[in-house]
Amino acid sequence: AKKAGRDTLQFFDPRMQQVVRERATLEQDLRTGLAQQQFELFFQPQVEDGSIIGAEGLVRWRHPGKGFVSPANFIPLAEESGLIVPLGEWVLRTACEQLARWAQDPALSELVVAVNVSPRQFYQAQFVDQVLAALAVTGAPPSRLKLELTEGLLLTDIDDTIAKMVQLKQHGVGFSLDDFGTGYSSLAYLKRLPLDQLKIDQSFVRDVLTDPNDAAIAKTIVALGMSLGLRVIAEGVETEAQRAFLHEHGCHAWQGYLLSPPVPVAQLETLVRRERQT
Ligand code: C2E
Ligand code: CA
Ligand code: CA
Ligand code: CA
């Protein structure tokens, strides 16, 4: 490699160069994908006290050459490149359109949709207006929309975060703290946030039956939620034994492969209708 400054030296590593090139291509593909509507919103049912009360919206990208690309691979890039702002806006709009359609159907009108919000999207000065516009334009009932925030949001500007949450809450929008326990949020902040729900991360659920530390963390989150007056939902529940353990320890809401992976909206509706009939 050529003699260069510390930061530029790695740029001459051919492997690094390839990574950089692939990222640039993927970023361009993301832009194209947004323009050509290659994205679809899937829904994973959320269960409370034995029945489906709503669903989490999870974006899927049908890449023309690569097939389905996992959000784990493109959300971070969308976040870094700023494309998360238009993508997030599309997700919000799509979720609200769904809520508005369901509002017309007595069998589905009670469903809540949880939408993931990236920090960069949330930090936009227009974020509150963006959400309110999506609700107003579609006619979706605000109380059926729940926003999933991550602890990363709490690091930058807690007062701004609270102010935005309060404004949206005044319209009836709910808030869930996603991946709880994996980040750095302090309990003092937690108390100040106008949250409705904590979400136990799947990394604690996975081994909840075999790892006493994970079991202790899960139980602690449930107890914390209770004492703060928050609902608690567990994600990544794959087995009946995990569900039963969580239930026994006071967590009555969950989502996971045990019931269903994220599915296209028609499939979610079928699941709900089938359940309501029995
Ligand atoms: P997340 O919000 O923590 O979503 C949960 C992930 O766990 C989803 O992966 C879901 O498909 C998966 N999952 C659900 N049930 C189970 C289970 O029982 N077992 C296992 N092993 N996994 C389960 P997915 O859909 O690939 O999404 C990954 C991440 O990408 C999400 O994590 C979220 O951070 C992000 N993401 C997805 N859609 C959106 C979106 O519309 N906007 C934003 N900002 N981020 C999104
Ligand atoms: Ca989530
Ligand atoms: Ca999560
Ligand atoms: Ca997670």
pLDDT: which is higher, 150 or 205: 205
Go through the chain and tell me how many residues it has.
278
Mean pLDDT, the chain, as a whole number? 92
Confidence bin at 1 (pLDDT 50/70/90): very low
Single-letter amino acid, residue 239: T
Q: Percentage of the chain with pLDDT > 90?
A: 78
Protein residue with least CA distance to atom 7, ligand 1: 236
245 vs 69, more confident: 245
Mean pLDDT of the 142-166 span: 91
Chain CA centroid to CA 184, Å: 18
| Residue 10 DSSP symbol | G
94 CB near ligand 1 (under 6 Å): no
Q: Can you tell me the mean pLDDT for 156-182?
A: 93
All residues with CB under 5 Å from ion ligand 2: 116, 148, 178
- Name beta bridge partners: 180: 200
| Ligand 1: nearest atom to the Cα of 258 | 18
Q: Which ligand is nearest to the CA of 199?
A: 3
Each residue's pLDDT tens digit, 39-53: 999 999 999 999 999
- CA angle, 145 as apex, 161 and 169 as ends, to 5°? 40
Q: What spacing in Å lies between the alpha carbon of 235 and ligand 4's midpoint?
A: 7
- Residues 120-129: contacts with CB under 8 Å, at least 24 apart: 120/79, 120/82, 120/84, 120/85, 121/84, 121/85, 121/88, 121/89, 122/149, 122/153, 122/161, 122/164, 123/156, 123/157, 123/160, 124/85, 127/164, 128/164, 128/167, 128/168
Residue nearest to atom 21 of ligand 1 (CA): 236
pTM: 0.93
CB atoms within 10 A of CB 239: 15
pLDDT at position 5 over 70: no
45 lines ligand 1 (CB under 6 A): no
Mean pLDDT of 232-237: 98
Please report how the helices 127-138 and 158-170 are oriented relative to each other, as an axis angle in degrees rounded to 10. 20
Find tokens 């238009």 and name the residue.
Answer: 86
Take atom 4 of ligand 1 and give the residue whose Cα is closest: 58
Average pLDDT over residues 204-214: 97
Q: Is 91 in the pocket of ligand 1 (CB under 6 A)?
A: yes
Q: How far apart are CA 192 and CA 42, in angstroms?
A: 32
> What is this model's ipTM?
0.97
User: What is the Å distance from ligand 2's center to 163 Cα?
Assistant: 22
Q: Are 41 and 31 contacting, i.e. CB atoms less than 8 angstroms apart?
A: no
pLDDT of residue 188: 78
